[in-house]
Amino acid sequence: MSRKKFTVAIAGATGAVGELLIQVLEERNFPVGEMIYLASSRSVGRKLKWRGKEIAVRELTKDAFEGVDIAMFSAGGGRSVEFAPAAVEAGAVVVDNSSAFRMEPDVPLVVPEVNAEDIGDYTKRGIIANPNCTTIIMIMALKPLHDYGKIKRVVVSSYQSTSGAGAKAMEELMSQARSWAAGDALEVSAFPYPILFNLIPHIDDFTENGYTKEEMKMHNETRKMLHDDDIQVSATCVRVPVLTAHSEAVYIESEKEITPDKARELISAAPGIEVLDDPAQLKYPMPIDVAGGDTCYVGRIRKDFSTANGLTFWVVGDQLRKGAATNAVQIAEVLAAEYLQG
The set of catalytic residues is 133, 246
Q: How far apart are the first and last CA of the chain?
A: 13
Angle (CA) 305-245-292 rounded to 5° is 130
166 exposed, middle or buried (CB, 10 Å; 0-12, 13-18, 19+)? Answer: middle
Q: Select from 331, 323, 330 the least CA-distant residue to 134.
A: 323
Q: Is 254 helix (H, G, I), strand (E, B) or coil?
A: strand
- Phi (first) and psi of residue 337, to 5 degrees: -80, -35
Q: Give the other-Cβ count within 10 Å of 332's Cβ.
A: 29
- Full 3-state SS string of 76-100: CHHHHHHHHHHHHHCCCEEEECCCC
CA dist 95 and 80 (Å) reads 10
